Structure 1
Amino acid sequence: MRIIRKYRLILFGFGFSYLGNWVNLVALNLLVWHLTESPTAMASIFIVGPIARILTSFFAGSIIDRYNKQKLMIYSDIIRGILILLLPFTSSIWLIYGVLFLSNIASSFFGPSSTYYISKYVPDKDKQSFNAILGIFSSGSFLIGPALAGFIIALSDVSVAIWFNALTFFVCALAIFKLPVVDGRQDMHRQRLTWQMLKEDYGIVYAYIKKERAFAKVFLYFQGALMIAFALDSQEATFIKQNLQASDSLYGVMVSIAGIGAIIGGAMAARYAKRFSTRQYIIYGLLLTTICYTLFYLSPNVAMGTISFIALGICMSFCNAGYSTFYQLSVPSAIMGRFGSVSTMGVNMLQIVFTLALGILADWLSLQLVCIVFGILAIFISLLLYVFMHSKSAYEGLKEEIV
């Protein structure tokens, strides 16, 4: 496809990094499960990252908007690669959490920087197609990563799978280094970070949110439902092993098969990117995604769980492509770093609350029952977004390219 040829370097760099992340996720889940066999400990993997990102978000956006984003992405990848290399040498769950904490601090700079770079590097007419194709690379990693993790672990051990993830960070850094500069100048003007500067930056973000109320409502509804979905992700491995009685290898196969749906969905999202609006991608994609999450935790056996996984992959591809395009079109590039960091702070607070609550309730009550209730809550929030994005205020307040 034209989009793949045109943006092959950034797609390869990000795609290879996605592959490593999925390999690492499977390996890390198994490492922590065998150490603790605790749903709370498993949930904590998904809490350490948000805590690190919340603390870093107080100042990360102010740095990102004033420095060269391309360099920040490169430095972030190199630091994360070094930290992940150290992970297998840790001997306790608390040391694992510590390495993950530091790695997520570096990630706090990569995310907003990459969003800014894509918004400047990819023209508006290509954004939805590009995001859908990037989703295919992510989905392909979702398919190949767990299977590759299982293969690596079968031939060696969990440590080698984790080291593979470190390698992908270094390769991604090299790919980003070879991309063109989009900041307009290679050396950005550096300013000393002060409390007054941070206060002014928060004021700018608040003024933007107050002005763009329609955008703010879509953002809150979408992220609210998505954070519940992420909380449900934290119990995925526990549910598969504890309730569906699957082995380690079958767990990897299930997650890998789910990637088939994600690849199909990504291809469909790319194919119809110019036919359907961003609004349609968001509202229908999110609603069906939350329904699929709920159906997965309603599954009585591995077969039904796998079918739900495949459907989830298809729906989430549309959801992600639509939201990424919505964000890139809506947030001004001049404040993208600051808005991204401030919003990350709030979003990760939600993720911590939902994930910790889910983990604790799952220890006290039935894991399946608690996950189903959370899934229904996510569906309700998705319906609120559906209603709002069909309202008059949404049509008047959002950009024409979105509705």
Structure 2
Amino acid sequence: MRIKMFVKSWKYPSILLTIIGVSSVGEWIYFLALNLIVLDMMGVLAVSGLYILRALSTLFTNIWSGSLVDRSNKKHLMVWLAIFQSMFIALLPSFSSIWAIYGIVFLISIASSIANPTTLTYMTKLIPQAQRKRFNSLVSLIDSGAFVTGPAIAGFIFMSGTPNHAIYMNAIALFLAALITLFLPNIEKRDLIETEDEKITLKVLKEDWKLVVDFSRNHGYVMVIYLLFSAVMVLATVVDSLEAAFATEVLAISEGDYGLLVSIAGVGIVVGALVNMIVVEKVATSWLIGLGSLMVSSGYLIYAFSGTFLIAAVGFFFLSFSMAFINTGFNTFYQNNVPVEVMGRVGSVYGFIQAFFIIIGTIIFGIIAESVSIRFVIIIGTLIMFAVTVILFIFNTQSSKKEYYIEKHQLQAPGTN
């Protein structure tokens, strides 16, 4: 009986995990293949344009995507977005113009930017609160595995075929993910989405932005944690943008050794995700976020002050090892404290702010690195990150805020509501 209940309770979560896994691995294959195609066509500068496109698509999409997500049936939107991406990815190899490719990539990135909050919102509705932390730890493990298996599969395809073959395989994988999504329950079938038929106009967007502002004022503690976590992610992304230059120019290691550093980070991600999955139920969500963030920033500090390959490798392993804890903790906190009815809008508005600061921060850090030194800007960035994580740790571990981290167990099986 207990086994039967366990199988029933994890039936739909397992399907959702499969979809996330296929999408994560496919995204690595797609982006690596796309990099090679564009590099072969136009060179390194054109590849940099792909990264700029992704950031711009996030800025463009997050202005309005939350309004769409909260007004849509999440299962149906997930299916159509996956089909949309698979169709346009399949079209990529047929274009020889870099501008045509950029245009298609921009559309694919828009769909991806909408798909992420849609999946998160659906996940929050599907997974009972009692299972969320365990489920989020499994998502971290799958994402970690994709970090390793995605490039490995792509490399195998490149050796036996061409980047175009990898593109087609990813298109097929995304289409299969769309078909698998059809087996998930339509959890909003009997829900009344009050704004479902409302057209998204500028007036509606202004009202939605006001809603997010009002929500932030009324839930100050939740938004403080959100902003502090976002600040850590922004600083990590900005510092990572100078990672290759720091390794090769400051540490004076070869490109081969840099590749080994990246591999060590990959091992750290996988090992951290495995440990996280084992201990997640025994560690409070507040400590996953607070201590996890301190561990991440400590790893960056070790890396920033390193003078040899060995010390840099220790820093790389430690920071990547810690990522699963902070991500699992924050996602659980976010799902438990932001109402699912406004989750899309809250996430998109703050995602817009985060993307904006990533672009600005990357530009500023790049200018300082050119005019002063790479090590200086890396050290400054990691020291600021460490200070932010100390503040985040203090806010997370306040005894007066325990109610924000309490796991409310639900007996209802997923997919039955």
| TM-score after normalising by structure 2 | 0.84
SS in 1 for 2:72: coil
In the TM superposition, residue 141 of structure 1 has moved relative to its aligned partner by 0.9
CA separation of 1:259/1:47 partners in 2, compared to 1, >3 Å: closer, same or farther? same
What amino acid does structure 1 have at the position aligned with 2:377? Answer: V
Deviations 1:354-403 (A, max 9, x none): 2233344444454444333322222221112112223466447x35349x
1:3-402 correspondence to structure 2 within 5 Å: 7-28=13-34, 35-37=42-44, 45-88=50-93, 96-185=101-190, 189-239=196-246, 243-247=252-256, 254-300=261-307, 303-391=310-398, 394-395=401-402, 398-401=404-407
CA distance in 1, matches of 2:387, 2:47: 26
CA distance in 1, matches of 2:395, 2:333: 15
What amino acid does structure 2 have at the position aligned with 1:372? Answer: I
What amino acid does structure 1 have at the position aligned with 2:175? Answer: F
CA distance in 1, matches of 2:161, 2:371: 37
Aligned CA-pair RMSD:
3.0
Kept in 2: contact 1:72–1:109 (CA 8 A): no
CA distance in 2, matches of 1:92, 1:295: 44
Kept in 2: contact 1:46–1:355 (CA 8 A): no
Percent of aligned pairs sharing the same letter: 31
Kept in 1: contact 2:33–2:167 (CA 8 A): yes
What amino acid does structure 2 have at the position aligned with 1:84? Answer: I
SS in 1 for 2:342: helix
Kept in 2: contact 1:228–1:355 (CA 8 A): no
In the TM superposition, residue 238 of structure 1 has moved relative to its aligned partner by 4.9
CA separation of 1:46/1:177 partners in 2, compared to 1, >3 Å: closer, same or farther? same
In the TM superposition, residue 94 of structure 1 has moved relative to its aligned partner by 5.3
In the TM superposition, residue 234 of structure 1 has moved relative to its aligned partner by 3.2
Q: Which deviates more, 332-341 or 297-306?
A: 297-306
Kept in 1: contact 2:287–2:397 (CA 8 A): no
Structure 1 gaps, min length 5: none
What amino acid does structure 2 have at the position aligned with 1:22? Answer: W
CA distance in 2, matches of 1:186, 1:159: 43
Kept in 1: contact 2:69–2:344 (CA 8 A): yes
Q: Which deviates more, 286-295 or 208-217?
A: 286-295
Q: Which deviates more, 291-300 or 351-360?
A: 291-300
Kept in 2: contact 1:53–1:345 (CA 8 A): yes
In the TM superposition, residue 318 of structure 1 has moved relative to its aligned partner by 0.5
Q: Which deviates more, 109-118 or 162-171?
A: 162-171
CA distance in 1, matches of 2:22, 2:145: 10
What amino acid does structure 2 have at the position aligned with 1:244? Answer: I
What amino acid does structure 2 have at the position aligned with 1:63? Answer: L
In the TM superposition, residue 14 of structure 1 has moved relative to its aligned partner by 0.4
CA distance in 2, matches of 1:168, 1:310: 31
Deviations 1:260-288 (A, max 9, x none): 22222222222222211111000111121
Deviations 1:9-59 (A, max 9, x none): 111110121112223344455566675446xx7665443223222222222
What amino acid does structure 2 have at the position aligned with 1:8? Answer: S
Q: Which deviates more, 276-285 or 233-242?
A: 233-242
Deviations 1:314-361 (A, max 9, x none): 200111100110110011011111112211111111111122333444
Deviations 1:181-208 (A, max 9, x none): 1113499642222333222222221111
CA separation of 1:211/1:255 partners in 2, compared to 1, >3 Å: closer, same or farther? same
Q: Which deviates more, 25-34 or 283-292?
A: 25-34
What amino acid does structure 1 have at the position aligned with 2:18? Answer: F
CA distance in 1, matches of 2:246, 2:155: 19
State the structure with more CA Rg: 2
